[in-house]
Amino acid sequence: MKTLFTRIRTISPALYYCGLAHLALFVLMIIIAQFDHRQLMGINLWTKPVKFAISIAIYCLTWPLLLQYFPFERLKQRFVNYTVFAMAFEMLAIASQAARGQLSHYNTSGIYNALVFSTMGIVIVSQTLFAMYIGIRFFKVKAVQITPALLWAIRLGIIMAGFFALEGGIMASRLAHTVGAADGGPGIPFFNWSRIAGDLRIAHFMGLHALQIVPLFVVLTGVKNARPVIVFASVYFIMVSLLFVEAMLGRPLF
C-alpha cells in the first residue's frame, strides 16, 4: 500500500495531495458529526459531506494510475489542474452548506442556495466532459507500455464513469433523486438509498465506479486480450442501465 501511494504521488502530486486532503476531511467530518446532531431529511447533515469526501478521495487517487499511460503531457496537466479545482470547489460547497444547515443539492430556496447548486452543476459537468474527452483521447494511445486488456479497461472505464456521472443532470432537472416518493424516506445505512421507491443514486454510484471496477477486472483476472474486457464492460453497462430503468420506474432495489 505504501508503494502504491508513493507511485501515485510520483505520477501526480496535485491529485495525490487532493486525495489525501479529502481523506483527512472524511475523518474530520465523521468526528464533527458526533457533536453536531442537526438533521436534514431525517439524517445527520454531515452524512452527505462525509460520503462525498471519501468518494472524491478515491476519485483523485485513481486518476494518476490511469494517467501514467497518457502521453499527452500538456492536456494531462490541464486535466489534473481542473480536476483538483473542481473537486475542491464541490467539497467546499457541500461542506459549507452543511455547516449552514442547508441542502447542497436540489436547493433552490433563495438566491444564494440556487447559485451554489447551479454553480456546482456547471463545474462538475464541465469536469465530467473533460474526463470523457481524456477517455476518448486514450483511443490514440497504443498498447506499448500496457496490455490491450488494460488499455481498453481504462478507455471504457473512463467513458462509462462519465456517462453515468451525467445522470446527475436528470436528478438535477427533477430536483430529486427518489422516484415514486419524496427524498428523505427510509433508506439503507450510510448510503441512504431508498427502500420504498426508486433511487437514481444507485445507478449513478455504480456507474461512476466503473472507473475503478473495469480496470480492477483486468488486474484481478490477469487477462491480456481486449475481448474479455469489452464483454465485461458491456455486461456491466447493461446492469447499471437496468438499475437506472428500475429507479425511473419507481421500484426500490432493496
- The C-alpha atoms of residue 46 and residue 254 are separated, in whole angstroms, by 24
Show the DSSP H helices in the chain as ranges: 2-11, 13-35, 47-67, 73-99, 111-137, 148-165, 168-174, 201-208, 210-221, 226-248
pLDDT value for 160? 98
CA–CA separation, 238 and 245 (whole Å): 10
Which DSSP category does 194 fall into? B
Q: For residue 212, with 0-12 CB atoms within 10 Å meaning exposed, 13-18 middle and 19 or more buried, which class applies?
A: middle
Supply the pLDDT for residue 47.
95
Q: What's the pLDDT at 41?
A: 86
Give the pLDDT means over successive 10-residue stretches in the chain (254 positions): 89 98 98 94 93 97 97 97 98 97 93 96 97 97 92 98 96 94 91 95 97 97 96 98 97 91
Residue type, 182: A
